[in-house]
Structure 1
Amino acid sequence: MKIAVLIPCYNEELTISKVIGDFKKKLPNSDIYVYDNNSKDRTSEIARQSGAIIIKEPRQGKGNVVRSMFRDIDADYYVMVDGDDTYPAEFAKELLKPIIDGEADMTIGDRLSNGTYMSENKRAFHNFGNNLVKGLIGKLFKNDINDIMTGYRAFNKFFVKTMPVLSEGFEIETEMSIHALDKKFLLKEIPIDYRDRPEGSTSKLNTYKDGIKVLRTIVSLFKDYKPFPFFCVLSFISFIIGLLVGIPVILEFIDTSFITKLPSAVLALGFVLVSIVLLTNGIILDTLVKQHKQNYELFLNEFKIKNKAVDDKNE
């Protein structure tokens, strides 16, 4: 049983040694990989001295790092954790247990259930942002996941090797959660403690800039995964605007049998036609998405069969 601990890093020289040491104690037989994402400090040097395997990722952004991790590292089970020492290694085995027992394809380290994130996190609007993302994804994708954006997760090989990573930055956690929900992977949340960064360590997450990226990702993935309701909403809005613009024109025609508000009539007709086009697009794209899901299910079945054949051969 091969376990890989994946640690994406950017300028974490103050904390990386402790993170590596803690995970060595809790998972002594695991391989610890530190992916250095263009750090300007001694992160790589300290991580190497602490016994980790160092891999450089030149493309900036956490999503790019995770893409390389998932492509490059071959293991049976994976733990992904940030290098800032905010996630205690004591919970690593709890995250791995449902994966090893076959109860989950991905486990999520839930920072929000026990209240430690609310008390420890000192960054303004982060609690609001987490709740906003949780509420949006809960409504749009009909789920009750409590902590969508946590960076502490565990996976099996099945999930890692079939996850298409499209994000480039901090929106990667949101993408993984939505992908797992849409493709019916087994998910399980494990309540964990959270601690704030030590003094001198600074967050690389920009509350507003990265928050907007996350919200944009949610909208984009909603369009990609659920195009029919997405375009239905746009179609309804366009139709209502066309109706509001066109009502005076209709009333005038009923009263006088003439239309003098020609610009309003053309504008109303334009909005109604756009509404029809949007609805048609939604129907077509919804059919394509269903076909993609069918093909993806077949791909997952084929992956499992091939992987089992390799395992049997190795045994």
Structure 2
Amino acid sequence: MKIAVLIPCYNEEQTIGKVISDFQRELPEADIYVYDNNSKDRTSEVASQHGAIVRKETRQGKGHVVRSMFREIDADIYVMVDGDDTYPAEFVHRLIEPIKNKEANMVIGDRLSNGTYFQENKRPFHNFGNNLVKGLINFLYKSDIKDIMTGYRAFDKWFVKSMPVMSPGFEIETEMSIHALDKKFLIKEVPIDYRDRPEGSESKLNTFSDGWKVLKMIFTLFKDYKPFLFFSLWALLFFILGLAAGIPVIVEFAKTSFITRIPSAILAVGLMIFALLSFACGLILDTVAAAHRKQYELELNQIYKQMRREENDYIS
């Protein structure tokens, strides 16, 4: 099987050489790709010196890098890892084993289960953000994924070539997790160790701005993937507010046959109309989403048939 190690990079001169060397030691047969995302240091030069295949991605953001990687690279197994030396290369065999055995389409390197992430990561808001995002997604999809936002993953070709990458930046890990859950890909988690960045290496993440982007991504994907539930919740909210505004008006009318709370009556009617419109939008968009899922399944079948033809041609 052809294995490709994908390393998106931005200003990782200090660590990229070690990351490449570690994966060359663990997977000597793999092709290692480093995509330089407008680095201002010697990341590309160091990567080339260590034998990696270096390519450029001029659109800033990890999502843009992953989109280009998935489009341009052909392999049977893909391993994606950050270039900051926080993910030990020795765990890569555990990640690719379920892909080789066709037990999973995406394998997640779970940093959280064995506790090393909480010991090594000195940013408490990151831990809070991870737990918040994990809780929201597991609640929405009734799943039990332990680590939604890890950057250490393995994929098969079927997942990579059918993944529509829409995120421009750091939200890409969340998008991949939600996409896999929604489209019912086989997911497996493998506990891994995590180590913080070496001294002198600076994180590119901003706790609050990147956290907001991730939450906005969850909000958007929730609307796109589960529109009936999304708009039903809004309809319920408007309905409750409409009742709160309208019940005093109804009680007054029942007692006196007059309405003096004209503004409250108008507000209640408006809120009930919003509730009805939200519910109707949910029904319509749920039908559209169901049709999209059917079309996506047909496209997956075509991708699978193409992959099987390529395998048969290779064998023959």
TM-score bracket, normalised by the shorter chain, equals over 0.9
Which consecutive residues of structure 1, in runs of 5 or more, have no partner in the other structure?
none
- Output aligned runs, 1:253-292, within 5 Å: 253-292=253-292
* Residue aligned with 1:4, SS: strand
Amino acid aligned to 2:143:
N
Q: CA RMSD in A?
A: 0.7
1:38 corresponding residue in structure 2: 38
Structure-1 residue corresponding to 2:184: 184
Aligned to 2:224: 224
Tell me, in whole angstroms, the C-alpha distance in 1 between the residues paired with 2:130 and 2:260.
Answer: 52
Query: Where do 1:1-315 residues align within 5 Å?
Result: 1-315=1-315
Deviations 1:190-211 (A, max 9, x none): 0000000000001001100000
- Tell me the TM-score normalised to structure 2 length: 0.99
> Which secondary structure state, in structure 2, belongs to the residue aligned with residue 281 of structure 1?
helix
Provide the rounded CA distance (Å) in 2 between the counterparts of 1:97 and 1:211. 32
Q: TM-score normalised to the size of structure 1?
A: 0.99
Query: Partner of 1:188: helix, strand, or coil?
Result: strand
CA distance in 1, matches of 2:289, 2:132: 27
For 2:124 and 2:45, locate their aligned partners in 1 and report how far apart those are by CA, in whole Å.
Answer: 33
TM-superposed deviation, 1:124: 3.0
Deviations 1:37-91 (Å, cap 9, x if unpaired)?
Answer: 0000000000000100111000001011000000010111100000000000001
Q: Structure 2: 5+ residue runs without aligned partners?
A: none
Deviations 1:238-272 (A, max 9, x none): 01111111111111111111112222111110000
Letter in 1 for 2:255: D
CA distance in structure 2 between the partners assigned to 1:264 and 1:132 by the alignment? 37
Identity %: 68
Q: Distance in 2 between matches of 1:111 and 1:237?
A: 37
SS in 2 for 1:125: helix
CA drift of 1:314 comes to 2.4
